[in-house]
């Protein structure tokens, strides 16, 4: 088992700063996900934990022992790559057991570990096949098995499901969660897929341009985003953002921007009242509307541009004033393009950000 600490870690490639002064604690047996867009520094961070890259500055520790300059083979980590990296001429059995043979494990121990891993991953009937005879999901299981037999203290995974089709990705997420529960090992997982992060992680680290934007569990990250980037990166469709001003009057606090006038509930108003008069950005997630309008001070009105059924519900695109906005509504709703509609807003789930700093005024 292993706890991992990165303290003031920076990685430069020439004049490019890939990771900038990253300090992060990863708990023993955690399932931590590094989440962010391409080029944000998440894979570089994973490679530094693995020892494949050395930090330009800062320290990395495992269980309190500094490993910053310790080579990968001495870190007790196993890595699963996006490409699977299987040997095409070897059988599944030999691919899974290859690392153990290189470490001179006894044949009996290799056989036991390979067969145990294959059984756990439901590929015991594939041990005599070669990679070209396997589906993408089966190849991914072989790559996981090769890492499992090492019984590492740390499992590192870099976009391992990105080559799979959508349905198989969902199934593999469930299997990875079960694998983590069964192995009781520290997992560090890199992805740009928010659904993977939200369903897999005990802890999510959201990164942008080499800098950590927020660390928290799935609920923290989605429900209490600390800035506009985090709020916008998570959610599909992305959060609707409106520029406007906070106004305090009649004992309350309102958001106004000329066409939109929303009153905040008392608890939220109390937190926002010190910021009255400030230019802000209001965040409204697409699912946080109610077709049954309860009050005229909590509505959005616009002309329907499009309606897209997405199975369990519908996405409705509105042209509100001069802005396109998107909302999720019940699949039974009947809206037609060109018609005007008014939707009630769940004011208890609004997000408010400082327009200049983009930091949250509610959760920062």
What pLDDT, on a 0 to 100 scale, did the predictor assign at position 296? 60
Residue 308 included in any domain: yes
Q: Are residues 98 and 207 in the same domain?
A: yes
Domain boundary among 201, 233, 265: 233
> Is 52 contained in some domain?
yes
Tokens read off for 337: 């393009």
Instruction: Determine, yes or no, domain membership for 111.
Output: yes
Q: What is the pLDDT of residue 321?
A: 86
Instruction: Give the pLDDT confidence of 81-128 residue by residue, as tens digits.
Output: 888 889 999 999 999 999 999 999 999 999 999 999 999 888 999 999
Q: Determine the pLDDT at residue 229.
A: 98
- In angstroms, the CA 90 to CA 98 distance is 9
Domain membership of residue 323 as a residue range = 240-354
pTM summary value = 0.92
The closest alpha carbon to 231, from 296, 149, 288, 311, belongs to 288
Higher per-residue pLDDT: 347 or 295: 347
Where does a domain end: 206, 233, 260? 233
Residue 359 counted as domain residue: no
For residue 204, give Cα distances in angstroms to 85, 207, 217.
26, 10, 6
Q: In terms of domains, do 245 and 205 share one?
A: no
HSE-up of residue 363 (Cα within 13 Å, Cβ side): 24
pLDDT tens digit sequence for 312-337 = 899 999 998 889 999 998 888 888 88
Q: What burial letters (b/e) apply to 158-167, b meaning 16+ CB within 10 Å?
A: bbbbeebeee
Q: Which two tokens stand for residue 208?
A: 């942008």
Phi, psi at residue 83, to the nearest 5°?
-85, 0
pLDDT digits (tens, 9 = 90+) for 64-82: 999 999 999 899 999 998 8
Instruction: Give the residue among 163, 123, 156 at the shortest CA–CA distance from 141.
Output: 123
pLDDT at site 294: 62
Q: Are residues 98 and 244 in the same domain?
A: no
Number of domains in the chain: 2
Both tokens assigned to 89: 């001429």
- Measuring CA to CA, how many Å separate 110 from each of 72, 82, 151, 190, 269? 22, 25, 12, 29, 63
* Residue pair 136/168 in contact by the 8 Å Cβ criterion: yes
- State whether 181 and 312 are in the same domain: no
Selection from 166, 144, 164, 163 nearest residue 155 by Cα: 144
* 281, 176: one domain: no
The neighbouring-strand residues paired with 254 are 247, 263
Residue 44 covered by a domain: yes
Q: What is the mean pLDDT of residues 338-354?
A: 92
């Amino acid at each position: 088992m292993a706890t991992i600490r990165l303290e003031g870690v920076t990685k430069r490639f020439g004049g490019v700063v890939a990771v900038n002064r990253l300090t992060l604690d990863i708990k023993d047996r955690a399932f931590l996900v590094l989440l962010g867009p391409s080029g944000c520094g998440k894979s570089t961070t994973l490679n530094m934990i693995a020892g494949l890259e050395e930090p330009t500055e800062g320290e990395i520790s495992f269980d309190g022992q500094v490993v910053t300059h310790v080579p990968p083979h001495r870190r007790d980590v196993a890595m699963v790559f996006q490409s699977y990296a299987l040997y095409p001429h070897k059988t599944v059995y030999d691919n899974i057991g290859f690392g153990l043979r290189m470490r001179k494990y006894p044949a009996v121990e290799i056989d036991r570990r390979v067969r145990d891993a294959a059984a756990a991953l439901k590929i015991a009937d594939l041990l005599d096949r070669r990679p070209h005879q396997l589906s993408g999901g089966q190849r991914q299981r072989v790559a996981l098995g090769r890492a499992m037999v090492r019984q590492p203290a740390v499992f590192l995974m870099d976009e391992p499901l990105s080559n799979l089709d959508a349905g198989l990705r969902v199934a593999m997420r469930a299997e990875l969660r079960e694998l983590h529960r069964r192995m009781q090992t520290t997992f560090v997982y890199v992805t740009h897929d928010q659904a993977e992060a939200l369903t897999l992680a005990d802890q999510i680290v959201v990164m942008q341009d080499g800098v950590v934007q927020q660390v928290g569990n799935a609920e923290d990250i989605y429900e209490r985003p600390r800035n506009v980037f985090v709020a916008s990166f998570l959610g599909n469709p992305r959060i609707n953002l409106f520029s406007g001003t906070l106004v305090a009057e009649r004992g309350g606090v309102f958001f106004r921007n000329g066409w939109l006038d929303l009153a905040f509930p008392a608890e939220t108003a109390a937190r926002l009242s010190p910021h009255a008069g400030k230019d802000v950005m209001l965040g409204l997630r697409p699912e946080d509307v109610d077709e049954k309008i309860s009050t005229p001070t909590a509505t959005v009105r616009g002309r329907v541009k499009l309606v897209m059924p997405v199975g369990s519900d519908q996405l409705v695109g509105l042209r509100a004033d001069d802005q396109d906005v998107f909302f999720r509504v019940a699949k039974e709703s009947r809206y037609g393009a060109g018609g005007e509609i008014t939707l009630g807003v769940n004011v208890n789930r609004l997000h408010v950000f400082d327009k200049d700093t983009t930091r949250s005024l509610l959760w920062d």
